[in-house]
Structure 1
Amino acid sequence: MLTSAQSSQLQQCLELARDIHQHQAAIAQFTQLRDSIVADEAAKALIDGIWAEVLAARRSSAFWQQMSDVEKDVSERLAQNHVQLQQNYLRLMQEM
């Protein structure tokens, strides 16, 4: 069972893991927490594997968020261009 201080430290590790640029700090803090909780080397290896998966999931999430943002920007620009083309067409038709 984790103490409240250990739970708080784990929460800090997870918060650091949200930012890809903070992953090294998250790893260092998590390693310190893991070492204070677990003595068995096999359990440490298992926990390290789980932590690596957490970080990989965070990186994947950040990547797909960036892709989503790019797609949104492209869609918005396409919509603006479409409106501009419609306005240009209407102006052309009125001039004829």
Structure 2
Amino acid sequence: MEIKKDFNLQKIAGEYILMPKNTSQKGYNGLISLNEVEVLVWENLEECKSEEEMISLITNTYMVKKSDAKKDLGSFLKQLEAADII
């Protein structure tokens, strides 16, 4: 999956925030706060060849059921797509 290069991940006051480099980015309606799993997904979006590979990465890194990882990944990817980030 391709990440649009005008968005980046910042750690601010202990919170991970996904933010545009240019605030006039089309589709941008605010900052996106990420949890640890979403940070893992963000950092590996371009390396993982499929959602199944990403789910395996999540379940191998965190103690989470495959079904939960799949559901959470789907929600996060939809959020990124809706914001025109991927």
TM-score band by shorter chain is 0.3 to 0.5
- Specify which structure has the higher proportion of strand: 2
Structure 1 or 2, whichever has the larger Rg, is: 1
Q: TM-score, normalised by structure 1?
A: 0.34
- Specify which structure has the higher proportion of helix: 1
Q: TM-score, normalised by structure 2?
A: 0.37
Higher relative contact order (CA 8 A, sep 6+): 2
